[in-house]
Amino acid sequence: MELPRFSLAGKVALITGGSRGIGEATAVLFAQAGADVAVTSRKLPDLERVADLVRAEGRRAIAIEAHAGRMDGLQGIVDRTVEELGGLDVLVNNAGTSNYAPSMEMEERAWDAVMNLDLKGLFFLSQAAGRHMRDHGGGTIVNISSVDGVRPARTTPHYSIAKAGLIMATKCQAVEWAEHNIRVNCIAPGSIETRLYNANFALLPEEDRAAAKDASSRRVPQSRIGDPHEIADAALYFASDASSYVTGQTLVVDGGRLLV
Ligand SMILES: NC(=O)c1ccc[n+]([C@@H]2O[C@H](COP(=O)([O-])OP(=O)(O)OC[C@H]3O[C@@H](n4cnc5c(N)ncnc54)[C@H](OP(=O)(O)O)[C@@H]3O)[C@@H](O)[C@H]2O)c1
């Protein structure tokens, strides 16, 4: 069955944090939808593995090693994508990090590491991509926030603040860039089975981790942790024409967790 409104045929997508987890699932799904894909993160071998998965879907792929929290490298990510894949139509701002730092113990270093990657880098990568899209007929940007950007997380305030800022950055850029045919939307995932999610349990003794994870999934009305492909599906909606009259929005994908 062909669903042309969900197609990315002929498009070029750039996915940050594309080496595993949600970024990997999004890269593969976008390739299945017809896009050529650039993936970026800090480790080339991991990126090459995902690039091979994209190529196995019959699409072109490039792997770009870069730190998405360092402003001086961001323009280069966009430039390489455009030079090697011939354009840039879709940006998925997915790279993100967090670290345990309750407000009473927060150090500036921890604050900066999270803010630079999860908010500042993302804003300026969108700017670099947005300038290209403006000059080439438009595009779509999908930001990956978190339910923690809607409801405060207890021991990671910098992460919550950055993710909340991202929801507002989505709205600001959506309003400013609509005239350039650029739509900007956001996804707020709940608990998704990835390395980042499992890091939440890393401070616990090993024998307690499975029980803590189980308790966490029982707090979700759907009684389970999500899979990365369930975020990728939402990203495809926002990236494609299926959402052509939607901009500035945040879609919560959390199995109902924020409702209770
Ligand atoms: N999993 C969840 O439960 C959940 C919930 C809500 C929101 N999210 C959000 O979803 C996004 C993806 O996370 P995930 O769960 O898929 O985590 P993940 O599996 O740990 O993947 C994170 C990705 O980001 C990359 N990355 C990390 N630091 C980077 C940096 N400084 N520069 C460039 N790339 C960097 C990682 O590659 P390298 O480390 O090799 O650079 C990796 O590709 C994040 O924004 C996260 O906040 C996740």
At residue 125, φ and ψ (nearest 5 deg) are: -70, -40
Q: Is the CB of 243 under 6 A from ligand 1?
A: no
Mutate to test the pocket of ligand 1, among 15, 24, 39, 42 (most ligand atoms within 8 A of CB): 42
Summary mean pLDDT of the chain: 98
Residues 167 and 170: their CA atoms lie apart, in Å, by: 5
237 is catalytic: no
Q: Report d(CA 38, CA 87) in Å as an integer.
A: 11
CA-69 nearest atom, ligand 1: 31
Give the DSSP letter of residue 47. H
Residue 173, C-beta contacts closer than 8 angstroms, at least 6 positions apart: 126, 130, 141, 182, 184
Q: What percent of the chain has pLDDT over 70?
A: 100
Q: Which domains does the chain have, with CATH numbers?
A: 9-190+229-251 (3.40.50.720), 196-225 (no CATH)
Q: Is the CB of 17 under 6 A from ligand 1?
A: yes
Asked if residue 97 has its Cβ within 6 Å of ligand 1, the reply is: yes
Span 205-240, pLDDT tens digits: 999 999 999 999 999 999 999 999 999 999 999 999
Can you give the pTM of this predicted structure? 0.98
Spacing, Cα 2 to ligand 1 middle (Å): 31
Q: What is the Cα–Cα distance from 191 to 194, expressed in whole angstroms? A: 9
Confidence of residue 1 (pLDDT cuts 50, 70, 90): confident
